[in-house]
Chain A
């Protein structure tokens, strides 16, 4: 079966712009979690969506937002980009909320210039 698909894989933006990243979970999975990975901070949890509702949120500013659609696909948006937002953004899906066995996508690598 198809895995978790993230688009785009790579993108370059400039400071002040905004970006939207997309994640299509495994068919039948209703939970989508987002993580940010940087060399300095490692993997940090952003938020989790289940059945179109945000179930959990990490310690990120309000510039980071997300949503989930009725087909479980999810998007995350970062507004007013800063240089420090350069990172690998990973999406993971699971059947239920709060699951421990997650299937991750390959990630979207964002570079902010």
Chain B
């Protein structure tokens, strides 16, 4: 079951950075942090993942604390289209027989 804790909801002003926190205090040394988002009535979309170094791609940045017990997904300039539920997932790089589990996630609302 989900090994992460996320706030149920957050608000952000359009054009500002959205910082979505995730706690994963029981993460093991070889587990990665993955982020997905789900826009209303669509399938989840992969965003980014990382192990311990900060990661950045065209969609977002992922900041993982040095002790790896928490992380933050940053959307640098949020738009209305970023309104979605964001899921933080902790998992081994190769999950094997373990299924990918989505928790409740954080409902991000970007306001004009």
Contacts and interface: CB of A to CB of B under 8 A. Distances in A.
A35 B99 CA distance: 11
A43 interface: yes
Interface residues of B, number: 23
B30 interface: no
B43 A98 contact: no
A4 interface: yes
Interface residues of A, number: 27
9 contacts: A45-B101, A56-B99, A58-B99, A92-B43, A98-B94, A98-B97, A100-B49, A101-B49, A107-B41
Given A102-B100, A106-B43, A109-B41, 16 more contacts: A33-B100, A35-B102, A42-B102, A45-B100, A45-B101, A56-B97, A92-B43, A98-B97, A100-B91, A100-B95, A100-B100, A101-B34, A102-B46, A104-B45, A106-B42, A107-B42
